[in-house]
Amino acid sequence: MSTPPVVRPGEALCRLEDLSDPPSKAFMLQFDDGEEIEIFVVRDGETAFAYVNQCPHQLLPLNWKDDVFLTLDKTRILCVMHGATFRINTGEVLSGPMPGDCALMKVPVTVSNGEIRLAPRNRD
Ligand code: FES
């Protein structure tokens, strides 16, 4: 897979219309101390949600193909490793091999005038 574009807290990720086919896209979030973590953003109608690209089952990346994070019908986030699925707007697990109370780690974003932007601070 290719390396996702690097973004920093507070920066714009992309526009809603950039998320059509697939309706999701990966980024490498880089903090001031140089630490990096891969995230992805998913469009849900006129809004978007972002998560750390790490499945709570075995802490592996969810995708095998660039920017593809959803089921074929595009209604759920999918981990291709063991087939877990997650709700797009909350990240909560819907099916899969782990207990039902776990979820993807959410990354705060805002959507304004079609632009998806990271919150200024994404961690303490
Ligand atoms: S690593 Fe995601 S379902 Fe197992």
Confidence band for 123, pLDDT divided at 50, 70 and 90? low
Mean pLDDT (whole number) for 99-119: 94
Nearest CA, atom 4, ligand 1: 82
Q: Which residues line ligand 1 (CB under 6 A)?
A: 55, 57-58, 60, 79, 81-82, 84, 96-97
Q: Does the pLDDT of residue 122 top 50, yes or no?
A: no
Domain ranges of the chain: 6-115
pTM of the model as a whole: 0.94
Fold of 6-115: Rieske Iron-sulfur Protein (2.102.10)
Of ligand 1's listed atoms, the one at least distance from the Cα of 58 is: 1
A 10 A CB-CB count for 88 gives 24
Q: What is the pLDDT of residues 31-80, one digit of tens each?
A: 999 999 999 999 999 999 999 999 999 999 999 999 999 999 999 999 99
Nearest alpha-carbon partner for 59 in 76, 74, 38, 29: 38
Confidence band for 24, pLDDT divided at 50, 70 and 90? very high
